[in-house]
């Protein structure tokens, strides 16, 4: 029984990691008043960037190209939504289509349609020696790829940034009311740019995690809705960095239930398992609903 | 917005000319972008474009059996998106609504096909529209009752619909031999008649073509349409004016939008596939967003943009087959077009596509 629980928890953290990275970035972006629907495309570009980078220069280059690719797509989003004040949802929708087309065409152009011969270096789990032996939760938390540990460090850092620094205060102020920071001599657009590039870079890293720490290869459209789920997770986490990580873990746990229930011998059709995280997210969103603390200026061009 | 209020005649002519002009520019941009993408990919342009043409508008067969067949669902889902966006409802869920529409049409068409004979088709279409409205209704209810943003909920519902189809075609609705993950094929009575014997074109296209002017007329000439446009253009003013219940108007527009998308699914099922299976839709409901945006949410222009994208997607498949160019290239063109439309629309002046500038109202803040 404890083996099942352990496998379940490990799968939960594994599923949660890329979602938490993306949601952490999107939390920062949304706190500045932008809603980046293009996150889905950014994750996809990150995944492809990771493949391209890692096949040339190993895992490190893979992460670097993923982060750069994500940020580059973030530049496009920002040019439309910040510099030109265009509608954020339409911009995001277009960017997602663009990313799907560009990664698909490049993938087929560079690697052919089969992709079977693709062998790229990946990041295996790194057990943190003593901690990984803690019963039940040890392996789930401390026998994971390095990127998961990076997440453990990053989440409190983002919290510190948002709630304990001047620049974080400015960012949250911009999200509530854009003009509020003008008095302090801060450009609201500059603040939004910073937030968007940070969020896009994390989105790219999230895509890299899918390729380098999980699948070990790239599949067309492999982001598979994770960007949208991350946006939902931001709401579930009530626009708080630690909340986002917790909500991602919750989503990861619901997704991992299928492994646990299958291992426990429950024979539900597997499409119903795949459906469950989305249903649970909707229910959770309804429960957070009106009580939630959305930035007042969210979505305003 | 192109038709906010009754305009003086010269002004109306100018608006119409502007709309046609923008469509012409869009068409040129499509081909410019496409040529660029093909060239960057290192493919020879001549054979690619000739494959594109031959596969879309180049022959009577390609036109009627490929392009117009694809235009039908794009037109209906494009109208669905246009209607929702006009009302200020961010319905990104046309794909899911289409899928449940097809599912309902299959379930009803298969079970009732033998019993009610000639009425089976009508009942299947009605079931599809009702299912689409119901699916949209979940998102509308979540928005109204719990403040869940429809941008997020409709996307979640797309995934749920796709997995639901996957489950049904392997479970309760699977064909009797239980080998293939699909339903049985509809009987002849429940199928949409063909327009010509030698082509795949079915009467669904005519239904879709009739829906466009109908929606235009409703939006343009009726009190209901006025309320929808008011709710979308300026919800605060509409609310303060006191005569328009923005919430109710939006809910109804959301349901109608879902019904249109569900009808698209039912027509696809009864006219093209005859059986329900996964991947029945190659993303019609997503392309619909590009179709509607490029038409500036104008129902009559949606006819043209749906035809453009129907041809483009049919041609893209031919390009992949004959010239080795990935069909996903179309997404680059679609995304690029939306961005170009966004970028080019600088001033947000009335009558020149000001909708792109429209504030997203309270749609994102959950208030």
Residue A127 host element (H or E):
strand A126-127
Q: How far is CA A290 from the centre of its chain?
A: 24
Of A97, A101, A299, the CB nearest to B363: A299
Query: Given the DSSP bridges, would you call strands A126-127 and A143-144 parallel, antiparallel or unpaired?
Result: antiparallel
Closest-CA distance of chain A to residue B278, Å:
12
B35 or B21, higher pLDDT = B35
Residue B346: which residues within 8 A CB-CB, separation 6 or more? Answer: none
> In angstroms, rounded to a whole number, what is the distance separating the alpha carbons of residues B320 and B190?
34
Report the pLDDT value the prediction gives residue B366, as an integer from 0 to 100.
Answer: 33
Portion 90-109 of A in contact with B at CB < 8 A: 90-91, 93-102, 104-105, 108-109
Q: Is A219 on the interface with B (CB under 8 A)?
A: no
Cα within 13 Å of Cα(B151), Cβ side: 25
Inter-chain contact B356–A301, Cβ cutoff 8 Å? no
- Beta carbons of A146 and A128 less than 8 angstroms apart: no
Q: Is the pLDDT of residue B46 over 80?
A: yes
- Beta carbons of B90 and B139 less than 8 angstroms apart: no
Inter-chain contact A97–B364, Cβ cutoff 8 Å? no
**CA-CA-CA-CA torsion sign (B50, B52, B58, B61):** positive
Q: Which of B316, B342, B347 to mutate to test the interface with A (most CBs of A within 10 A)?
A: B342
pLDDT in tens, A20-51: 999 999 999 999 999 999 999 999 999 999 99
Provide the 3-class DSSP secondary structure of residue B31.
helix
Per-residue pLDDT band for B347 (boundaries 50, 70, 90) equals: very low
Report the pLDDT value the prediction gives residue B196, as an integer from 0 to 100.
Answer: 84
- Beta carbons of B313 and B330 less than 8 angstroms apart: yes
Residue A149 class from Cβ within 10 Å (0-12 exposed, 13-18 middle, 19+ buried)?
middle
Mean pLDDT value across residues B70-89: 96
Q: Is B334 on the interface with A (CB under 8 A)?
A: yes
Q: pLDDT averaged over chain A?
A: 88
> In angstroms, rounded to a whole number, what is the distance separating the alpha carbons of residues B176 and B110?
12
Q: How far is CA A96 from the centre of its chain?
A: 15
Burial call B333-360: b when 16+ CB within 10 Å, e when fewer: bbbbbbbbbbeebeeeeebbbbbbbbbb
Report the pLDDT value the prediction gives residue A269, as an integer from 0 to 100.
Answer: 79
Q: Is B11 on the interface with A (CB under 8 A)?
A: no
Residue A293: which residues within 8 A CB-CB, separation 6 or more? Answer: A238, A239
Q: Is A89 on the interface with B (CB under 8 A)?
A: yes
- Beta carbons of A52 and A268 less than 8 angstroms apart: no
Report the pLDDT value the prediction gives residue B27, as an integer from 0 to 100.
Answer: 76
8-state DSSP, A126: E
Q: Is the pLDDT of residue B358 over 50?
A: no
Per-residue pLDDT band for A290 (boundaries 50, 70, 90) equals: low
Phi and psi angles of residue B202, each rounded to the nearest 5 degrees, phi first: -125, 175
Report the pLDDT value the prediction gives residue B353, as an integer from 0 to 100.
Answer: 33
- Beta carbons of A21 and A202 less than 8 angstroms apart: yes
Mean pLDDT value across residues A8-14: 89
Of A102, A232, A299, the CB nearest to B152: A232
Of A89, A287, A294, the CB nearest to B360: A89
Distances (CA, A) of B274 to A253, B59, B143, B356: 39, 25, 34, 38
Q: Is A220 on the interface with B (CB under 8 A)?
A: yes
> In angstroms, rounded to a whole number, what is the distance separating the alpha carbons of residues A57 and A37?
31
Q: Is the pLDDT of residue B65 over 80?
A: yes
Residue of A nearest to B358 (CA): A87
Question: Counting one residue from A and one from B, how many pairs have CB atoms under 8 Å apart?
Answer: 164
3-state secondary structure A95-128: HHHHHHHHHHHHHHHHHCCCCCCCCCCCCCCEEC
**CA-CA-CA-CA torsion sign (A237, A238, A240, A242):** negative
> In angstroms, rounded to a whole number, what is the distance separating the alpha carbons of residues B115 and B123?
12
Report the pLDDT value the prediction gives residue B147, as an integer from 0 to 100.
Answer: 87
> In angstroms, rounded to a whole number, what is the distance separating the alpha carbons of residues B299 and B69?
19
Mean pLDDT value across residues B161-167: 95
Mean pLDDT value across residues B253-278: 96
Residue with tokens 């529209």: B129
pLDDT in tens, A225-277: 899 999 999 999 999 999 999 999 999 998 888 777 777 777 677 788 888 88
């Amino acid at each position: 029984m404890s083996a099942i629980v352990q496998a379940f928890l490990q799968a939960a953290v594994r599923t949660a990691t890329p979602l938490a990275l993306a949601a952490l970035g999107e939390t920062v972006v949304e706190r500045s008043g932008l809603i980046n629907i293009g996150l889905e495309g950014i994750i996809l570009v990150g995944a492809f960037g990771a493949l391209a980078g890692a096949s040339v220069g190993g895992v490190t280059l893979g992460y670097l190209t993923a982060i750069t690719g994500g940020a580059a797509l973030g530049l496009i989003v920002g040019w439309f939504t910040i510099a030109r004040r265009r509608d954020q949802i339409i911009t995001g929708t277009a960017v997602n289509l663009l990313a799907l087309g560009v990664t698909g065409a490049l993938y087929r152009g560079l690697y052919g349609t089969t992709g079977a011969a693709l062998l790229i270096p990946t990041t295996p789990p790194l057990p943190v020696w003593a901690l990984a032996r803690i019963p039940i939760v040890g392996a789930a938390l401390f026998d994971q790829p390095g990127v998961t540990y990076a997440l453990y460090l990053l989440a409190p850092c983002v919290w510190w940034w948002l709630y304990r620094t001047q620049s974080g205060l400015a960012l949250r102020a911009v999200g509530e009311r854009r003009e509020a920071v003008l008095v302090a001599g801060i450009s609201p657009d500059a603040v939004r740019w910073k937030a968007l590039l940070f969020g896009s870079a994390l989105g790219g890293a999230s895509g890299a995690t899918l390729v380098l720490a999980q699948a070990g290869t790239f599949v067309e459209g492999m982001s598979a809705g994770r960007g949208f789920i991350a946006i939902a997770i931001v709401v579930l986490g009530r626009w708080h960095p630690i909340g986002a990580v917790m909500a991602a873990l919750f989503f990861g746990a619901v997704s991992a239930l299928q492994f646990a229930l299958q291992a426990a011998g429950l024979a539900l059709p597997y499409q119903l398992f795949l459906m469950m995280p989305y249903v649970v997210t909707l229910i959770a969103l309804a429960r957070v609903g009106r009580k939630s603390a959305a930035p007042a200026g969210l979505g305003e061009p | 917005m192109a038709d906010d209020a009754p305009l003086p005649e010269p002004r109306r002519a100018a608006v119409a000319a502007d709309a046609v002009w923008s469509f012409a520019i869009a068409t040129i941009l499509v081909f410019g972008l496409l040529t660029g993408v093909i060239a960057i990919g290192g493919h020879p342009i001549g054979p690619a474009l000739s494959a594109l043409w031959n596969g879309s508008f180049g022959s009577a067969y390609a036109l009627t059996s490929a392009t117009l067949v694809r235009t039908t669902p794009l037109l209906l889902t494009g109208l669905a998106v246009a209607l929702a966006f006009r009302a200020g409802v961010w319905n990104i869920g046309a794909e899911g609504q289409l899928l449940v529409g097809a599912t309902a049409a299959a379930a009803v068409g298969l079970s009732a096909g033998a019993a009610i004979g000639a009425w089976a088709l009508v009942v299947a279409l009605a079931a599809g529209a009702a299912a689409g409205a119901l699916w949209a209704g979940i998102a509308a209810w979540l928005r109204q009752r719990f403040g869940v943003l429809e941008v997020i909920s409709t996307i979640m519902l797309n995934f749920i619909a796709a997995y639901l189809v996957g489950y049904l075609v392997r479970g309760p609705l699977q064909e009797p031999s239980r080998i293939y993950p699909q339903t049985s094929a509809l009987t002849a009575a429940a199928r949409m008649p063909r327009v010509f014997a030698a082509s795949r074109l079915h009467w669904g296209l005519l239904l879709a073509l009739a829906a466009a002017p109908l929606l235009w007329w409703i939006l343009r000439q009726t009190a209901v349409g006025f309320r929808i446009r008011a709710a979308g253009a300026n919800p605060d003013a509409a609310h303060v004016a006191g005569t328009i219940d923005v919430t109710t108007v939006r809910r109804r527009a959301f349901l109608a939008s879902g019904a249109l998308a569900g009808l698209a699914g039912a027509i696809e099922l009864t006219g093209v596939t005859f059986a329900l299976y996964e991947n029945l839709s190659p993303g019609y409901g997503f392309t619909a967003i590009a179709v509607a945006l490029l038409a500036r949410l104008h129902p009559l222009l949606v006819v043209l943009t749906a035809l453009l994208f129907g041809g483009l997607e049919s041609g893209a498949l031919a390009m992949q087959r004959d010239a080795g160019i990935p069909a996903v290239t179309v997404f680059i063109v679609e995304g690029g077009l939306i961005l170009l439309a966004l970028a080019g629309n600088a001033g947000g002046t009335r009558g020149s596509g000001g909708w792109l500038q429209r504030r997203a109202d309270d749609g994102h803040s959950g208030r």
